[in-house]
Chains A and B, each alone.
Chain A
């Protein structure tokens, strides 16, 4: 057995993507589509696919595979597929249509996305993403998605997230909702046509692997508690991201890691778990009761000025009583060239430093004030109130509803929050995981974003995967069919079923003292403090110890009431938190081993003289793909790291600089 490194993990054999065709990057996707085998329409009816998740990635995949004629089973934990977390996305979706003739192109979108991810994503996948993005817009418009239009009746674009071209398509502040409703409707059309069968309020709790191939899932009917076996020829996970490991995040309450974590435990590698995107403009925590954080669109930074008091004594003063000379407009001071428009990771980190320095504002939460001002006073003196309202009115109203303060009167308070995750199941060019027949799409995979997701690029990836990529790659796998049927009582099925049942029984029988939420909160606190915006060797080691003992206590002292045979929300949460408790440790190990800073991963030990993130391409130009090696905690279960070297042929690596 390989030696234990840092007392935490072992090094395994390198891994690489073997599926992307050779040749120039522009031709790869065309070649792959041609080379992939076809399935005769009459055979498609005999092939079945399970899709877990009905967000943009899952719903679009279900609709497309259903249209093609496969038998699809679709699962989600909400009461309707339309409620998947994708619905909450506000800003927009990118595509290189170049409708404004401002110099945009597929190549530029590709370039910006690789650079934005701080050169930690895979070139071939990102190029394909940029290539199919235009089709997404066509598809959505044809479905009736009401994108913003100009008076000539044509589609409108805006520029977003510091990009110099206007390539973002949007639907007011509800782009995610409108795109998801489009995909949902396309999927419901297939439900009516009989190709897609939908299972709502069903939670997938295990993958069934037979002869090394994914052949089904175990799901719990969340209403009756029944444990069901669903078999198929291939399984697709479209179950979203795991930002809720932090407890407080902008994610929906139910977002979880269970589907991907269960697959990981069955042999699927987990890629770059430590990469988390933190968004600088969220409404700060107001008290211990808080259940989630709300994102305020980043566009606010275009006209708002960010500051904190120069003196700690002023933290609890009315901001309007703090004179100009006592305010520290710290972003404008440190980054004169970009000012308040520095990228997300930089704006977030600086806000944290200010609060750590005791100059944060807003209510004390614990013994800390976690907020900085985003002040519209100077914009209000420059522009009319009407003009400001026209631009930001709905955001101001939302803020006022949540905080009870009018940002036109008192400066708004903001603080960074966990937003989405770039890590996920490792997949190859075909979006297949290391378990044959198991695919991962959308936020559930690691592939396209590197260490940062740029604004408007996540929606693009979800729909690209679901509408265009997966349907073309999975057919290559399905063409190997017909597959040997799996007996419903095969030992692998029994085993999966038993493990789900015994886990549920254990959770219900512990009957300890603490609620599930209290464990989740505590885990979230550990993750945020030590594996959040800034990470250090010492902090991460501490976090790993804390998580291990918290996990031990969880299995000894959690209290889950009620029974397994009914709708039981505490039980649902308990299963998810149990998985977060394992994922959290792996995130810390991944963060610890990556002794460089890149994108959303800032290692304090790796910074330039003036405090900027310092990448180390010589040692870390790779994807970290983690293999599960047994129950975590300690040497026997130490995870195994497989490195996938990142090879850049089309793009030259550069250091990011915003000074």
Chain B
């Protein structure tokens, strides 16, 4: 395949940014999207131009490190992570636009890389169960109903990639937050801190400049782990209850 890439280049947060066009050739459909960018970077390096900076690590769809808006969609045209998107989803001659996540809460670092540490701070605000090491009771003393365990699991699969935020016109982090609230809220271990957790985490979410939720559903549609939209309802219910 031969493709035309339009890539956002920006040397640093303060530097001016621009879209730059790069042709790439000999792309095989077996390549992942990031391998295609590796090929581009080798070509740039050979020409003496600095490679395009982008994030990735596991390249297996699980660490949440990769990002990229591809043709305006978070992680591109399929419901998956960018590292698991393959070039067979594109056709010879395509023009592909590649941009970083755009959200106030995720400031740009360089080229296609943004700073998602706001998510860590939201977790620091209460996204845990307070139990010291060595203080845990025998595991099977605690029974969890299968349906609850399954729902906790389904929401614990969030990889913290930020696609939900990038896809949301308001750049809201409610899907990410709702996933954690639901994961811990479904489990008996999470009950003691349930009220305090939702209040503190939501407060941090707002302090980080994430936007509000208008129930547009773009987040859930873009989520590579298919976190359901109703975790946001759960979040709201928990919040109302905690406030009462």
Identify the A interface with B (CB < 8 A).
60, 63-64, 67, 78-83, 85, 87-88, 97, 99, 135, 137-144, 146, 149-155, 171-172, 174, 176-178, 181, 184-186, 188-189, 191-192, 198, 200, 223, 252-254, 286-287, 289-292, 294-295, 401-404, 467-468, 471, 515, 517-518, 559, 561-562, 566-567, 569-570
Tell me the residues in window 36-80 of chain B with beta carbons closer than 8 Å to chain A beta carbons: 36, 38-39, 42, 45-46, 48-51, 53, 55-60, 62-65, 80
CB distance from A60 to the nearest CB of B (A): 8
Q: Other CB < 8 Å A-B pairs besides A87-B159, A139-B134, A177-B159, 5 of them? A: A80-B116, A88-B58, A149-B144, A153-B143, A252-B63
Report chain B residues within 8 Å CB of A186.
128, 131, 133
Report chain A residues within 8 Å CB of B64.
80, 82-83
Given A149-B149, A154-B140, check contact A294 B129 (CB 8 Å).
no
Report chain A residues within 8 Å CB of B139.
97, 137-138, 140-142, 155
Most B-side CB within 10 Å, residue of A153, A154, A223, A517? A153
- Cα of A181 to Cα of B42 in the assembled complex, Å: 35
Assess whether B133 is in contact with A139, with CB atoms less than 8 Å apart.
yes
Assess whether A81 is in contact with B120, with CB atoms less than 8 Å apart.
yes
Assess whether A153 is in contact with B149, with CB atoms less than 8 Å apart.
yes
Assess whether B55 is in contact with A79, with CB atoms less than 8 Å apart.
yes
- Cα of A252 to Cα of B58 in the assembled complex, Å: 4
Assess whether A189 is in contact with B110, with CB atoms less than 8 Å apart.
no
Closest residue to B122 on the A side, CB-wise?
Answer: A188
B95: interface (CB < 8 Å): no
- Cα of A177 to Cα of B156 in the assembled complex, Å: 9
Report chain A residues within 8 Å CB of B39.
289
Segment of B24-32, B166-174, B231-239 engaged in the interface with chain A = B24-32
Which of B42, B63, B133, B160 touches A515 (beta carbons < 8 Å)? B42
Q: Can you list 9 A-B contacts with CB-CB less than 8 angstroms, sorted by A residue number?
A: A80-B120, A139-B136, A140-B139, A143-B136, A149-B146, A174-B62, A252-B60, A253-B59, A291-B34
- Cα of A253 to Cα of B143 in the assembled complex, Å: 39
Assess whether B117 is in contact with A80, with CB atoms less than 8 Å apart.
yes
B214: interface (CB < 8 Å): no
Tell me the residues in window 109-125 of chain B with beta carbons closer than 8 Å to chain A beta carbons: 109-110, 113, 115-117, 119-120, 123-125
- Cα of A189 to Cα of B193 in the assembled complex, Å: 13
Closest residue to B15 on the A side, CB-wise?
Answer: A566
Complex A-B, nearest 8 residue pairs according to Cβ-Cβ distance, in ascending order: A153-B143, A185-B128, A142-B136, A138-B136, A141-B139, A192-B124, A146-B153, A64-B133
- Cα of A264 to Cα of B152 in the assembled complex, Å: 43
Which of A188, A223, A289 touches B127 (beta carbons < 8 Å)? A188
Assess whether A291 is in contact with B59, with CB atoms less than 8 Å apart.
yes
Assess whether B134 is in contact with A401, with CB atoms less than 8 Å apart.
no
Report chain A residues within 8 Å CB of B12.
566-567
Assess whether A188 is in contact with B123, with CB atoms less than 8 Å apart.
yes
Assess whether A144 is in contact with B53, with CB atoms less than 8 Å apart.
no
- Cα of A400 to Cα of B85 in the assembled complex, Å: 12
Which of A81, A286, A570 touches B30 (beta carbons < 8 Å)? A286
Assess whether A143 is in contact with B129, with CB atoms less than 8 Å apart.
yes
Assess whether A63 is in contact with B133, with CB atoms less than 8 Å apart.
yes
Segment of B1-9, B184-192, B205-213, B215-223 engaged in the interface with chain A = B184-192
CB distance from B149 to the nearest CB of A (A): 5
Given A171-B153, A177-B159, A291-B35, check contact A135 B134 (CB 8 Å).
yes
Report chain A residues within 8 Å CB of B135.
142
Most B-side CB within 10 Å, residue of A192, A294, A402? A192
Assess whether A569 is in contact with B51, with CB atoms less than 8 Å apart.
yes
CB distance from B230 to the nearest CB of A (A): 18
Which of B128, B140, B144 touches A189 (beta carbons < 8 Å)? B128
Report chain B residues within 8 Å CB of A144.
128-129, 152, 183-184, 187, 189-190
Most A-side CB within 10 Å, residue of B30, B57, B160, B189? B57
Report chain B residues within 8 Å CB of A404.
29-30, 86, 88
Most A-side CB within 10 Å, residue of B36, B128, B187, B190? B128
Given A143-B128, A185-B127, check contact A561 B62 (CB 8 Å).
no
Assess whether B149 is in contact with A290, with CB atoms less than 8 Å apart.
no
- Cα of A468 to Cα of B55 in the assembled complex, Å: 33
Assess whether A467 is in contact with B133, with CB atoms less than 8 Å apart.
yes
- Cα of A189 to Cα of B187 in the assembled complex, Å: 18
Assess whether B45 is in contact with A559, with CB atoms less than 8 Å apart.
yes
- Cα of A140 to Cα of B128 in the assembled complex, Å: 12
CB distance from A51 to the nearest CB of B (A): 14
- Cα of A198 to Cα of B53 in the assembled complex, Å: 23
- Cα of A140 to Cα of B134 in the assembled complex, Å: 11
Report chain A residues within 8 Å CB of B16.
none
Report chain A residues within 8 Å CB of B109.
223, 567
Given A80-B119, A142-B137, A144-B184, check contact A154 B143 (CB 8 Å).
yes
CB distance from B154 to the nearest CB of A (A): 9
Assess whether A82 is in contact with B117, with CB atoms less than 8 Å apart.
no
CB distance from A70 to the nearest CB of B (A): 13
Assess whether A78 is in contact with B49, with CB atoms less than 8 Å apart.
no
- Cα of A176 to Cα of B62 in the assembled complex, Å: 10
B82: interface (CB < 8 Å): no
Report chain A residues within 8 Å CB of B51.
561, 569-570
CB distance from A247 to the nearest CB of B (A): 12
Assess whether A188 is in contact with B60, with CB atoms less than 8 Å apart.
no
CB distance from B106 to the nearest CB of A (A): 10
Given A138-B136, A141-B139, check contact A83 B65 (CB 8 Å).
yes
Most B-side CB within 10 Å, residue of A141, A223, A404, A570? A141
